[in-house]
Structure formats: C-alpha cells, structure tokens
C-alpha cells in the first residue's frame, strides 16, 4: 500500500451530501478480481449519460477539476453498502484524500486499509473550502498526516484528528497484510515449534 505522509494537490468539489457507495462505484462494475481498473467507472452513472457520453453537468467532468487528487464533499460520504471497491475506485481515479464533514463508518475504515486518507473537518470549515474552490479555479490544498493539518496558500489552516494506530499504518503504508508480514519471523518460529511439538 502506498504510504501517505503529506500531499498537495488540486481540489475537486462535490457539493453533495450522502454520496453512497452505489454511486461511487455502481454494482455492474464489481466483476473485476483486481483492485485496479475501477477508476474509469468512478461515479459512472453521474459522469456519463445513457449513451456513455460524458455528462457536462457533473462536477468531476469540469475542465478545472481535471487531474484533481483531493476530493471535497459534505456530510455522510460513503454511506450505503460496505463495498471496498468504492475506495479502490477513488484511489485508481487519482484521489489520495477525501475531505468531508462526516463519513460512513465502514467506508472510513476501508480508506485507511487502502491508502486513502479521509479527513473530517467542521461544517464551517467545509463551507469555507467549498467557497474557495468556487472562487479560485485551480485551487490547491496540502493535507499533512504527519502534522494532522490541512492548509492552503491563502492562510487557511485546520487541524483534524486520526486514531494513532491508523495514522501510523497509513504513514508507513501498511495494510492488514503488511502488518502481519512485520511479524513473519515470529510466525515462522511459531510454526517450526508447533511442528516439533504436535506432529509425530
């Protein structure tokens, strides 16, 4: 998993609450067995019309958001079904962090397991950022997991909180498998000891 320490990038604003995982990655695209390749289907039913053509009214299709790596949303982002594919799609599309007032619990947990940082800010801070994106084409921000702060070049700065265990794992790029592999020597020693003690 790719570590997350500090990231500066273009902000794309999705001025919507209650964005669910069925919209993040629709069910018809859950047939892949790899974690990659889902970015092309991100928000598919919103990004494209019934003929498969880009929907010019959808936020992420706006030219000023091309190449965005930070997604700004509102409250209850990632609610609905527990599909981990939603985070895979966001990461594969290019997003390294999602900034919102609140997240659905399972989606929030899945972000940390896949190298995407979910940042929770207060409502007035989210409102301020949406105004900044609307007023400043090309608006960029820095998300700093080491210092637990987000800031821009115009004086805005806001602290956020992350559980220390999750923070450490993301800083070091460790998912569940990576955490287990840190103990590979102890596991091997246990298996060798068990084989001697239990197998005649």
User: Is residue 189 assigned to a domain?
Assistant: no
User: Is residue 187 assigned to a domain?
Assistant: no
Residue 178 has pLDDT above 90, yes or no: no
User: Is residue 199 assigned to a domain?
Assistant: no
pLDDT at 78: 97
- Residue with the bigger pLDDT between 126 and 193: it is 126
User: Is residue 194 assigned to a domain?
Assistant: no
Domain of residue 88: give its range: 6-173
pLDDT at 138: 96
Name the E strands within 47-106: 70-72, 97-100
String of DSSP letters for 42-97: TTHHHHB-TTS-B-TTSGGGSGGGTT--EEE--SSBTBSS--THHHHHHHHHT--E
**59: domain CATH number?**
3.20.19.10
User: Is residue 146 assigned to a domain?
Assistant: yes
What would the pLDDT profile of 133-146 be if each residue is shown by its tens digit? 999 999 999 999 99
User: Is residue 197 assigned to a domain?
Assistant: no
Report the number of distinct structural domains present in the chain.
1
User: Is residue 185 assigned to a domain?
Assistant: no
Name the strands in the sheet holding 97-100, side by side, starting at the edge strand that comes first in the sequence.
Answer: 117-120, 97-100, 70-72, 6-13, 140-144, 149-151, 157-159
User: Is residue 192 assigned to a domain?
Assistant: no
Quick one: tokens of 124? 């007035």
**How would residue 32 be classed by pLDDT, with cut points 50, 70 and 90?**
confident
Average pLDDT score, the chain: 91
CB 68 within 8 A of CB 12: yes
What would the pLDDT profile of 84-111 be if each residue is shown by its tens digit? 999 999 999 999 999 999 999 999 999 9
């Amino acid at each position: 998993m790719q570590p997350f320490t500090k990231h500066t990038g273009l902000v794309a604003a999705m001025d919507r609450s209650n964005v669910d995982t069925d919209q993040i990655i629709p069910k018809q695209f859950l047939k892949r067995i790899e974690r990659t390749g889902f970015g092309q289907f991100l928000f598919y039913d919103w990004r494209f019309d019934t003929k498969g053509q880009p929907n010019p009214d959808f936020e992420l299709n706006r030219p000023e958001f091309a190449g965005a790596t930070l997604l700004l949303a509102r409250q209850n982002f990632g609610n609905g079904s527990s599909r981990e594919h939603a985070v895979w799609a966001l990461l594969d599309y290019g997003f390294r962090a999602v900034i919102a007032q609140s997240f659905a619990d399972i989606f929030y947990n899945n972000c940390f397991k896949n190298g995407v940082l979910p940042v929770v800010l207060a409502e007035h801070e989210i409102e301020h950022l949406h105004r900044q994106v609307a007023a400043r084409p090309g608006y960029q921000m820095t998300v700093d997991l080491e210092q637990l702060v987000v800031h821009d070049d115009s004086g805005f700065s806001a602290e956020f909180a992350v559980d220390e265990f999750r923070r450490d794992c993301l800083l070091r790029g460790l998912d569940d498998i990576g955490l287990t592999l840190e103990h590979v020597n102890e596991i091997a020693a246990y298996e060798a000891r068990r084989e001697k003690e239990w197998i005649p």
